[in-house]
Amino acid sequence: MTQPTDIRRVRGHKPRLLDLFCCQGGAAKGYDDAGFDVTGVDIVPQPRYPFAFVQADAIAFVLAHGSGFDFIHASPPCQHDTACQRIQGNPHPDLIAPTRAALETTGRPWVMENVGGAAPKLRDPVMLCGPMFHLATYRHRFFETGGWTLTQPDHPAHLVPQAKMGRPVPPGHYGQFVGNFSGVDLARRVMRVPWMNRDGIRECIPPAYAHHIGAAALTHLATARMGVAA
């Protein structure tokens, strides 16, 4: 297992963010752009992950080390609540409740992300969508927060037609970029993830979403520090 770097917070340095179930680092890039020092954790190797990485079980890691970070992001696997996986009858574990329970032990503010199929299991989630950030894909993702609150942005109307799943994206359409989609180079440009391959793109959070969350989280952390200082 790759060993983590020292996870103690150091005054004057960037706030430290723990990125659980990190995959290839879409969320990580957004948090880095927002101003966090990011460490990713995943149970499988992630050679494309662009920041510090620890190969470990995410829930076990956050139970052991989560309190040493300033903010925690978790994206438990979505396959259990993905329509195409249910249609194919593929079994996958439901890790939303165990992840939440582990996050709540840390005493740190956190956010947990998942797909629309999981939204009923999330507590008061905020939904983010590509056009909120001028991205040419809809890709709804839902975010539950703990220890802080995130404001729901206005949701633009879906006025642009969407290409059919797995098909090339015609001019004037938005791509879905899920499953065995065509157009990896286009997807990289649309979601601003030039380092990813198809496997990473079809599951990733666009960095713009995490940048939005990260900016709000930094405001929360700064306000909390001011409250402690007062």
Which domains are seen in the chain, by residue range?
A: 16-129+136-152+204-229 (3.40.50.150)
Nearest to 74 by CA among 213, 228, 221: 213
Residues 103-135: tens digit of each pLDDT: 999 999 999 999 999 999 999 999 999 999 999
- Predicted confidence (pLDDT) at residue 186 exceeds the cutoff of 70: yes
- pLDDT value, residue 82: 53
Lowest mean pLDDT among 100-104, 136-140, 167-171: 167-171
Band (91; pLDDT cuts 50, 70, 90): low
Mean pLDDT of 56-77: 98
- 102 Cβ contact list (under 8 Å, min separation 6): 59, 62, 63, 66
Lowest mean pLDDT among 7-11, 171-175, 183-187, 192-196: 7-11
Please state, for a pLDDT cut of 70, what percent of the chain lies above it.
87
- Predicted confidence (pLDDT) at residue 8 exceeds the cutoff of 50: no
Mean pLDDT of 29-53: 98
Q: Which has the higher per-residue pLDDT, 91 or 226?
A: 226
Average pLDDT value over all residues in the chain: 90
Measured CA to CA, the distance from residue 6 to residue 20 in angstroms comes to 17
Is the pTM above the cut of 0.85? yes
